[in-house]
Structure 1
Amino acid sequence: MYNPSSFAIEDLSELQQQILGTRLAMLVTHGEQGLQASHIPLLLEPADGANGTLYGHLAKANPQWKDLQNGDEALVIFAGADAYVSPAFYPSKAEHGKVVPTWNYVAVHAYGSAEVFTDAERLHTLVSALTDRHEANRAEPWKVTDAPADYIDGMLRAIVGFALPIERLQGKRKLSQNRAAADVAGVREGLAASPDAQDQILAQLMR
């Protein structure tokens, strides 16, 4: 990821918050079948003073897990809010007209080599934790144990789990930091006035 220093996220806690706040990540690998990508929910297990470990699973029918098994480096992308920035937002447009469109966004890239596993107990723990996380805000959360045990056993046999210790993290927060203060304010106000929820989130991040 091209990441000028003015946009780089260096704080580990901020990087981890972006990971935790991303509901669906993109796992990218390269192997015998070339580049492959899957969109999957992941869990982050933080570690004091370290990047932490990501946990997830793939369908056994998805050949991408074999790339992980081979020990090759994988990339996991956690995309945050994004918004188109119109030149019309910049007060400097009226002054000299030397402005072009751009895009503001937040993203974190995590890199590491994974360990795959098919142990039923470990998989059960993983899918239970994923389920509990995403059911937490429901009035009556569904639990893995709500389904028949033999049915869950069969579902577990159809997936492959993985643990990916994060070897390096790269974060980018592109929020018009390279513009003059008046232009930054113009972008913030323009996005805040938009009916689009993503635009409004970006405006909040720029405050």
Structure 2
Amino acid sequence: MYNPPAFREERPEALRAMLESARLALLVSNGAEGVPEASHLPLVLAPEEGPHGTLYGHLARANPHWRGLAAAGRALAVFAGPEAYVSPSFYPSKAEHGRVVPTWNYVAVHARGPVEVFDDPARLRRVVERLTERHEAGRAAPWAVSDAPEEFVRAQLRGIVGVALRIESLAGKRKLSQNRSEADRAGVVAGLAASADPRDRALAEAMRGAGAAGAP
């Protein structure tokens, strides 16, 4: 990931928060004959396992990617945060000199490391439980794996394969107009916050939270 210093996020607590706030990851590995393989899947972080933590998830047994992961031995997990198109019309500097162009602001984290594939039923069940607990949290009546019949759960576990990525390196990027003037950054926040698209408003909030346009 191209990551100029102005956009680089290196604080461990911020990187962890970015990992945990992303709902869906893209897991990428080298495939046969140099063709990359990728799967979209939720991953949950076990921060206590390793210096940067370990990511857990699962793939359908019918998905050939798990065999590719086992063969490659390493993988990249990509987590995407808020993102939005930035129009030059947001910049006050457009009226001053017109030397502005469109861009795209976004938040992303890349996690790399060795990957393990496993199908131990007890370990798989814990992965599914951790993912469920995370995404059911906050619901009035959260669903639990134990709510389903035990025989049904065992059958479902036979249909999946677990994945564990031990994070060796993390690269975080917050491209939030840090390379623009304070006035232009404030213009971007105002323009995105006024959008009807909730994705634009989420990016505006990320810019406020990062201090890219001053205090909220």
TM-score by length of 2: 0.92
For the 8 Å contact 2:44–2:56, the answer to whether it is kept is yes
Residue 167 of structure 1 aligns with an amino acid whose one-letter code is E
Residue 149 of structure 1 aligns with an amino acid whose one-letter code is E
Match of 2:63 in 1: 62
Q: How does 1:90-129 map to 2 (within 5 A)?
A: 90-129=91-130
Q: Deviations over 1:68-110 (max 9, x none)?
A: 2124321111000001100000111111111100000000011
CA distance, structure 2, for counterparts of residue 125 and residue 75 of structure 1: 23
Match of 2:8 in 1: 8
Greater CA drift, 78-87 or 64-73? 64-73
Match of 1:198 in 2: 199
Percent of aligned positions with the same letter in both sequences? 59
Are residues 1:153 and 2:154 paired? yes
2:5 aligned counterpart, secondary structure: coil
CA distance, structure 1, for counterparts of residue 11 and residue 50 of structure 2: 11
For the 8 Å contact 2:82–2:206, the answer to whether it is kept is no
Q: Deviations over 1:99-156 (max 9, x none)?
A: 1000000000111111111111111111111111111121111111111111111111
CA distance, structure 2, for counterparts of residue 46 and residue 143 of structure 1: 22
Match of 1:36 in 2: 37
For the 8 Å contact 1:71–1:115, the answer to whether it is kept is no
The structure richer in strand per residue is 1
CA distance, structure 2, for counterparts of residue 8 and residue 149 of structure 1: 46
Structure 1's unaligned 5+ residue stretches are none
Task: Provide runs of 4+ in structure 1 moved above 4 Å.
Answer: none
Structure 2's unaligned 5+ residue stretches are 209-216
Aligned residues: 207
For the 8 Å contact 1:30–1:72, the answer to whether it is kept is no
CA distance, structure 2, for counterparts of residue 66 and residue 156 of structure 1: 17
CA distance, structure 2, for counterparts of residue 150 and residue 30 of structure 1: 36
Match of 1:138 in 2: 139
Match of 1:170 in 2: 171
CA distance, structure 2, for counterparts of residue 181 and residue 124 of structure 1: 50
Cα shift at 1:189: 0.9
Residue 27 of structure 1 aligns with an amino acid whose one-letter code is L
CA distance, structure 1, for counterparts of residue 50 and residue 203 of structure 2: 29
Cα shift at 1:50: 2.1
Match of 2:85 in 1: 84
2:184 aligned counterpart, secondary structure: helix
For the 8 Å contact 1:65–1:160, the answer to whether it is kept is yes
2:162 aligned counterpart, secondary structure: strand
CA distance, structure 1, for counterparts of residue 101 and residue 121 of structure 2: 54
CA distance, structure 2, for counterparts of residue 198 and residue 161 of structure 1: 32
CA distance, structure 1, for counterparts of residue 87 and residue 163 of structure 2: 41
